[in-house]
Structure 1
Amino acid sequence: MQILIAGVALWWVSHLFKRLAPGLRARIGDGPGKLIVTVASIVAIVLMVIGYRQAEFVPIYTPLPGMGHLNNLLMLIAMFLFALSHSKGSLRPRIRHPMLASVVVWSIAHLLVNGDLASIVLFGGVGLWAVVSMLLINARDPWVPPAPGPVRKDIVAAIIALVVYGIVAAIHSWLGYNPFLGTYG
């Protein structure tokens, strides 16, 4: 569990560094600062994956029956929001933080089907980071929505989301959990 907690903590620190210590971040410089965040993020992800896979199963609550279907729908929405964050379509100006919103949806989706302590630490911790990030950004930076783009770019984002969703589902199945059947392999 310590490895998982360290990974989540490193994720928070690396991603909130710019917001919580802007002077220090500015002195480091843009290129080196981005490199530090990238390396720390990769290490955080590795720690979270290893820590989650090694964590003892400690049940906290029992997910309701049928939540797998809601999880799958929410994951598709999360993938679309993530794709939308890189889009210049007609929907992009309507959502200020599509990438962070996708993380919140991802987190909620996984907490609906995982009621153990490690899942709460991982999904709850990263989801809470996304909410805190949105609040910090909103408190400091005014938002000027980008100009809406063509609907075809929203369609491209939806297609990308479907492809990524299929890849993520395949990886989950390869790791031993079929998200469509709700079974461990």
Structure 2
Amino acid sequence: MGYLLLILGLLAWSVPHLWKRFAPAHRASMGDKGKLVVTVASFVGIALMVVGYRMAPVDPIWPESRSMVPVNNLLMLLVFYLFAASGMKTAVTRYVRHPQLWGVRLWALAHLMVNGDLASLILFAGLFVWAQVEVAFINRADPVWVKPTGPANVGKEIGAVVGAVLVMGAVGYVHILLGYNPFG
């Protein structure tokens, strides 16, 4: 049952997010109601993924590598920075197109480095594929990237770094509460 919920969660997340890419006119015709559909489906998808992941049996596919935990944690810090940088338009947005989708892909790869079970493969590889498809469709629809110009705001840069550290600490704490120690 856990695998089924996990797959349904991935679909509930991916399909509404890809709706704008596969059927842009239909999505645009929905206006704010379309945003509500995507938002509700996203929350349902996240809930199903969490419950499905927690319910799924641990079916090993490859050996877990605890030696990769420090690499995972460094990548996760970068992931949180990319999410913050995207919203704050820091310096990295002048070099990295789609920083949030890069963050999702790095998040997925980091978690696959330390988790070798089938549920992890379904969840993290599934979201990696979703992010790859999003990037491909965005780049196909808008192939010319107009990079932000002008100097980056130092205050925003500091805010993004501090925010990334704080969010990583909070997410790490939630992982510990759930029984997954991400720090050791």
CA–CA separation in structure 2 for the residues paired with 1:152 and 1:63: 40
| Alignment correspondent of 1:151 | 154
| Alignment correspondent of 2:51 | 50
TM-score by structure 2 length? 0.94
Q: Give CA deviations for 1:6-53 in whole Å, capped at 9, x if unaligned.
A: 000111101100000112112212x11111100000000000000000
Structure 2: gaps spanning 5 or more residues: none
Structure 1: gaps spanning 5 or more residues: none
| Alignment correspondent of 1:102 | 103
Q: How far did 1:68 drift?
A: 0.9
Q: Within 5 Å, which residues of 2 pair with 1:153-168?
A: 153-168=156-171
Query: Number of matched residues?
Result: 180
Greater helix percent: which structure? 2
| Alignment correspondent of 2:4 | 2
CA–CA separation in structure 1 for the residues paired with 2:75 and 2:162: 16
Segments of 4+ in structure 1 off by > 6 A? none
Q: Give CA deviations for 1:129-185 in whole Å, capped at 9, x if unaligned.
A: 11111111011113212224223311210010000000000000111111112xxxx
CA–CA separation in structure 1 for the residues paired with 2:104 and 2:28: 27
Q: Within 5 Å, which residues of 2 pair with 1:1-185?
A: 1-29=3-31, 31-141=32-142, 142-148=144-150, 149-181=152-184
Q: How far did 1:65 drift?
A: 4.4
- The residue matched to 1:62 in structure 2 has which SS? coil
CA–CA separation in structure 2 for the residues paired with 1:87 and 1:130: 21
Q: How far did 1:110 drift?
A: 0.3
Q: How far did 1:95 drift?
A: 1.2
Cα pair 2:65 2:115 within 8 Å, conserved: no
Q: How far did 1:89 drift?
A: 2.4
CA–CA separation in structure 2 for the residues paired with 1:86 and 1:28: 25
TM-score by structure 1 length? 0.93
